[in-house]
Structure 1
Amino acid sequence: MANREEFFDHISQGYTTKGEAITLGAAMLDGEAVTNALVKVPLKTLNRHGLIAGATGTGKTKTLQVLAENLSDNGIPVLLMDMKGDLSGIAKASPGHPKIDERHQAIGIPFTPQEFPVEILSLSEQDGVRLRATVSEFGPVLISRILDVSETQAGIISILFKYCDDNQFPLLDLKDFKKVLQYATGEGKKELQAEYGRISPASTGAILRKIVELEQQGADLFFGEKSFDTDDLLRVDDNGRGYINIVRLTDIQDRPKLFSTFMLCLLAEIYSSFPEQGDSGRPELVIFIDEAHLIFKEASDALLDQIESIVKLIRSKGVGLYFVTQNPTDVPEEVLSQLGLKIQHALRAFTAKDRKAIKLTAENYPISDYYETDQVLTSLGIGEALVSALNEKGIPTPLAATLLRAPMSRMDVLEPKELQDLIRSSQLIRDYNEEIDRESAYELLNEKIARANEEEAREKARQEREAASTSGRKRSSSSRRSSRRSPLEKVLTSPTVIRSVLGILNKMIK
């Protein structure tokens, strides 16, 4: 058995912070918490991203809740992706429980029930502040990667975006985008070919099919106006606590394409609009992505490259990304290597493949004199986890099996009436829940086609009138020619001459 005093010193030195920090819990030795051996994460390194992993039922969601609460308490806004619908309780204080008091006594910190400022957001028809973005805001590169089109098709998308920019045709929703595609190989074929080159109907048809596939996952609800302003994620309440923005996603678990589209758009918008932070000492925003494997599940190689690039770059904007999933292998290695904080709950070893995965997971953590990491991973209880963080100098902290603190807010969902009251009290819902369908590419191109059809009809009518007029002139000319007879014709055809001739003929007959 290891010496507890030495272990206490080991943890205390490894997790000492001079600046602001979040206390996750107390380090454990031989399966028991060492009181006041506190495991702390500096606010300064929370924009270095992180991972919360573990088998079902081991406490991942409660760990996410603890982090979100403490960030909010420190004035840092949070964005949560609520896939299972069990995070709304953050808006109400915990009712408390003797087990919670016992846990906190073992950790060495007090337990204070508390509610937090919460904003409910929605990506679909569920109640909440609606999240939308326009097709133009995505841009041709991002749209091409989301649709997973070929290089040639991506080139066509860029041309169509350029055409719409040149002609002031706003691309707001998927209806606009589809109309432009149809116009490019239909009524507008000659116009676009003259200005931008030939566009293949086969390529536009393939792009249209990709858009229909995206629509079938509900993307038509996401694309449009009014676009959500990412600055509204940075609000703090009157007490200086950061808002916890919860995106309700319970109805899109079977639509990973929509989820990855939304996440990529959000991250790209945040990266492009947030200013550079440098070494600010604390993050501006922390995003938790529950069921993170859904982002990567059906993502193309191009889309994965885009996500990996944003993960690497976005921390300079003061934004931390935290992936919550069952197994670390759900996250691509290129992303996993960027994560500074790892909170690993228990893993279960039911098969040889499971045991092999646990050994690989154990190798991702610092070597410890106090733990056999692969064994600890299978023996952790609910609300316990292996923690590896970065200290204020960016150096990995000692590995600590940790008894995690309990959430200060309710560990259950809001009642329907409580949820509705929270949504009705929102300061944002009036701004974003009005559906706007202003004149855009769809309407403008339809008007252009209608004008072209009218002009064509007028031209056809003019040609018909000219043809009729020409035919009339020919008949009149023929009539005039017949009236202009020579004097001899007039004499020979006069009645007197005719009667004389007939008289002579009669006499001869007699």
Structure 2
Amino acid sequence: MAESPPTETATSIAAGYAFDAPALELGSVVLAGTAYPSARVRIPLGMLNRHGLIAGATGTGKTKTLQLLTEQLSAAGVPVVVADIKGDLSGLASPAQPSDRVAERARDTGDDWQPAGFPVEFLALGGLGSGVPVRATMTSFGPLLLAKVLDLNQTQESSLALIFHYADSAGLALLDLKDLRALIQYLTSEEGQDALKGIGGLSKATAGVILRALITLENNGGEAFFGEPEWEPADLIRTDGDGRGVISALELSAVQDKPRMFSTFLMWLLADLFSELPEVGDLDKPKLVFFFDEAHLLFSDASKAFLEQLTQTVRLVRSKGIGIFFVTQVPADVPDSVLGQLGNRIQHALRAFTPDDASNLAKAVRTYPKTASYDLAELLTQLGIGEAVVTVLSERGAPTPVAWTRLRAPRSLMAQLDPARQTQAVSGSPLLAKYGTPIDRESAYEKLAARLATDEPAEAAAPTEPAEAATDEPEERPRPRQDEPAGRAPAEHAGQSRGGAVADVLGSPAFTSFARSAATVLGREITRSLFGTARRRRR
């Protein structure tokens, strides 16, 4: 069937997307239900670090849109990080199968569609899944993000920040859950209760709440998330031998019942990148694009401090060459302070079945530029699957005309990859040797137990300047976990249980002395970023 020539309106809309610079192809302009393949809708590649929003009700095609953008970014040499909550995005690694439906969509969008697979690195949060494990240390994760995971109130959050401040100042490395529990128990013990008195103190009631929350986190699998080897930001910014950007697909299906954990862990990755990457300003293409699926989980019940830091990170990370797309159901899921920074909008269909739905629809309409081409309030409830209302930033930073868009079909498999192929891909990953085996090196818990066992003499002065913390590389190479880790051997060989040894250590004068002197004997400075995260400085 011959293509209908575009109407004057369709031509006018498409003119707003006729960029000279490289761009990602979204699809074609639609008017009154008719798609015009030659009227193309696109996003300038250089504007991807101005961030974006992909929104729409369940089943309207958000994941396929994410897949479409990810494929083209990879082909353009831009690495991508995606949260794969249901496993659907694993199909990016395999070419799609031709079908009549795909052929029809290709005709509607003027797409010379060819199946293609892309380089995917499969990751798993804490190793809970088949991918390469992604972990963080407690010290690196920091108090603000941890407070979000633990669902603490503002008073408890400030107390947790005080605990981390003390650990940083005293040079106590917090690598996993047991390190943090040990420190909290010390700071509420008879020997340690005065340590924080001069800077606010820590009540036993608040400490008890935090300890109980940590136990709940551990029982829900949180112990796997914290520890070493810790993930390095550089391993997210890679290209393959053909120059295509590597897609880091963080497998979350094994932890989808822990939404607060995985959404906050994604934020840690972003904050980590922000603190490590240099300023680069505006680039021809971003260094990395990050997709936050189920973005509402980041913002629900978030503290004021968390939202302020998130807003500031989104605002500033652009200059590091990083683009962020939030993927959620309605724009109202994203706070106005963040929504105002998302220059690229792809809005799939919304529902208006309830008064709340109607309110969200009205809010969504107000976030778009005015248009005489469409009745947006009506259109947003009538969009078909794989259609969206689009406006992006042009090369000069101005919003493009609102375009009802029929989106192109992804070139990769729009389903889960065969598990055997995914397992094979993971086993062949160069990152598996680096991150695959957990490490339990000496940290706060083990060092304190060892000091007590050797009866080292006390030092009188308490640490007064923040700073040098034990997050350096150890003297000896870290060793994988064994049945009896060497750092715990002194107490356990003395016939004590782990819990008894900790209690004795935390209540002893030797421990008080060690905590006070740690800053002078352990060599590492802790500096914290906007989100309170910390990184080890590389030698």
Matches within 5 A, 1:61-72: 61-72=63-74
TM-aligned CA deviation for residue 194 of structure 1: 9.4
Deviations 1:343-371 (A, max 9, x none): 11112232344334323322221122211
2:354 is aligned with what amino acid? T
Q: For 1:150 and 1:298, how far apart are their aligned partners in 2?
A: 10
Structure 1 residues 450 and 335: alpha-carbon distance in aligned structure 2, compared to 1, 3 A threshold: same
Number of residue pairs matched by the alignment: 455
Matched, 1:418 2:393: no
TM-aligned CA deviation for residue 451 of structure 1: 4.8
Matches within 5 A, 1:370-449: 370-449=373-452
Structure 1 residues 54 and 195: alpha-carbon distance in aligned structure 2, compared to 1, 3 A threshold: closer
Deviations 1:126-165 (A, max 9, x none): 1111111111113345545654656665565455445444
Structure 1 or 2, whichever has the larger Rg, is 1
Matched, 1:226 2:229: yes
Q: Which runs of 5+ in 1 are unaligned?
A: 458-510
Query: What is the percent sequence identity of the aligned residues?
Result: 46
Structure 1 residues 163 and 329: alpha-carbon distance in aligned structure 2, compared to 1, 3 A threshold: closer
SS at match of 2:39: strand
Please point out which of 96, 104, 107 is paired with 1:105.
107
Structure 1 residues 445 and 97: alpha-carbon distance in aligned structure 2, compared to 1, 3 A threshold: same
Structure 1 residues 353 and 260: alpha-carbon distance in aligned structure 2, compared to 1, 3 A threshold: closer
Structure 1 residues 5 and 438: alpha-carbon distance in aligned structure 2, compared to 1, 3 A threshold: same
2:430 is aligned with what amino acid? Q
**Which position in structure 2 is the counterpart of 1:508?**
none
SS at match of 1:378: coil
TM-aligned CA deviation for residue 263 of structure 1: 2.2
**Which position in structure 1 is the counterpart of 2:29?**
27
Matches within 5 A, 1:453-468: none
Deviations 1:453-507 (A, max 9, x none): 79x99xxxxxxxxxxxxxxxxxxxxxxxxxxxxxxxxxxxxxxxxxxxxxxxxxx
Q: For 1:198 and 1:353, how far apart are their aligned partners in 2?
A: 44
TM-aligned CA deviation for residue 412 of structure 1: 1.0
Q: For 2:301 and 2:361, how far apart are their aligned partners in 1?
A: 25
Please point out which of 262, 270, 273 is paired with 2:273.
270
Q: For 1:376 and 1:449, how far apart are their aligned partners in 2?
A: 70
Q: For 1:415 and 1:150, how far apart are their aligned partners in 2?
A: 43
**Which position in structure 2 is the counterpart of 1:9?**
11
Q: Greater shift after overlay, 432-441 or 211-220? A: 211-220
**Which position in structure 2 is the counterpart of 1:179?**
182
1:383 is aligned with what amino acid? G
Matches within 5 A, 1:353-372: 353-372=356-375
Q: Is the 8 A contact 1:4 1:29 kept in 2?
A: no
Q: Is the 8 A contact 2:109 2:406 kept in 1?
A: yes
Matches within 5 A, 1:295-334: 295-334=298-337
Structure 1 residues 255 and 167: alpha-carbon distance in aligned structure 2, compared to 1, 3 A threshold: same
Q: For 2:338 and 2:158, how far apart are their aligned partners in 1?
A: 28
Structure 1 residues 197 and 323: alpha-carbon distance in aligned structure 2, compared to 1, 3 A threshold: closer
Q: For 2:47 and 2:261, how far apart are their aligned partners in 1?
A: 31
Q: Greater shift after overlay, 152-161 or 443-452? A: 152-161
Q: For 1:199 and 1:40, how far apart are their aligned partners in 2?
A: 54
Structure 1 residues 388 and 157: alpha-carbon distance in aligned structure 2, compared to 1, 3 A threshold: same
1:263 is aligned with what amino acid? L
Matches within 5 A, 1:197-208: 199-208=202-211
Q: Is the 8 A contact 1:257 1:299 kept in 2?
A: no
Please point out which of 269, 281, 287 is paired with 2:284.
281
Deviations 1:91-131 (A, max 9, x none): 00111112212221222220011110000010142111111
Please point out which of 78, 82, 85 is paired with 1:83.
85
Q: Considering fraction of residues, name the structure with more helix.
A: 1
Q: For 1:289 and 1:153, how far apart are their aligned partners in 2?
A: 27
Q: For 1:54 and 1:308, how far apart are their aligned partners in 2?
A: 22
SS at match of 2:306: helix
SS at match of 2:88: coil
Q: Which runs of 5+ in 2 are unaligned?
A: 456-503, 509-539
Q: Is the 8 A contact 1:260 1:299 kept in 2?
A: no
Q: For 1:326 and 1:318, how far apart are their aligned partners in 2?
A: 27
Structure 1 residues 182 and 345: alpha-carbon distance in aligned structure 2, compared to 1, 3 A threshold: same
Q: For 1:348 and 1:321, how far apart are their aligned partners in 2?
A: 25
2:404 is aligned with what amino acid? A
Q: Is the 8 A contact 2:60 2:385 kept in 1?
A: yes
**Which position in structure 2 is the counterpart of 1:54?**
56
TM-score by length of 2: 0.79
Structure 1 residues 447 and 392: alpha-carbon distance in aligned structure 2, compared to 1, 3 A threshold: same
Alignment RMSD (CA, Å): 2.6
TM-score by length of 1: 0.83
Please point out which of 30, 37, 40 is paired with 1:38.
40
Q: For 2:61 and 2:158, how far apart are their aligned partners in 1?
A: 47
Q: For 1:156 and 1:382, how far apart are their aligned partners in 2?
A: 48
1:338 is aligned with what amino acid? Q
1:205 is aligned with what amino acid? G
**Which position in structure 2 is the counterpart of 1:118?**
120
SS at match of 1:286: strand
Q: Is the 8 A contact 1:145 1:302 kept in 2?
A: no
Q: Is the 8 A contact 2:17 2:40 kept in 1?
A: yes
Q: For 1:205 and 1:229, how far apart are their aligned partners in 2?
A: 33
Structure 1 residues 6 and 134: alpha-carbon distance in aligned structure 2, compared to 1, 3 A threshold: same
TM-aligned CA deviation for residue 41 of structure 1: 0.4
**Which position in structure 2 is the counterpart of 1:337?**
340
SS at match of 1:380: coil
Q: Greater shift after overlay, 372-381 or 260-269? A: 260-269
Please point out which of 235, 238, 247 is paired with 2:238.
235
1:109 is aligned with what amino acid? D
Q: For 1:323 and 1:162, how far apart are their aligned partners in 2?
A: 32
Q: For 2:169 and 2:361, how far apart are their aligned partners in 1?
A: 56
Deviations 1:167-197 (A, max 9, x none): 5432111110111111223364278379978
Q: Greater shift after overlay, 238-247 or 217-226? A: 217-226
TM-aligned CA deviation for residue 296 of structure 1: 2.0
Q: Is the 8 A contact 2:332 2:363 kept in 1?
A: no
Q: Is the 8 A contact 1:54 1:326 kept in 2?
A: yes
2:26 is aligned with what amino acid? L
Q: For 1:264 and 1:199, how far apart are their aligned partners in 2?
A: 27
Q: Is the 8 A contact 1:81 1:246 kept in 2?
A: yes
Q: For 2:150 and 2:309, how far apart are their aligned partners in 1?
A: 13
SS at match of 1:87: helix
TM-aligned CA deviation for residue 203 of structure 1: 3.6
Q: For 1:99 and 1:30, how far apart are their aligned partners in 2?
A: 21
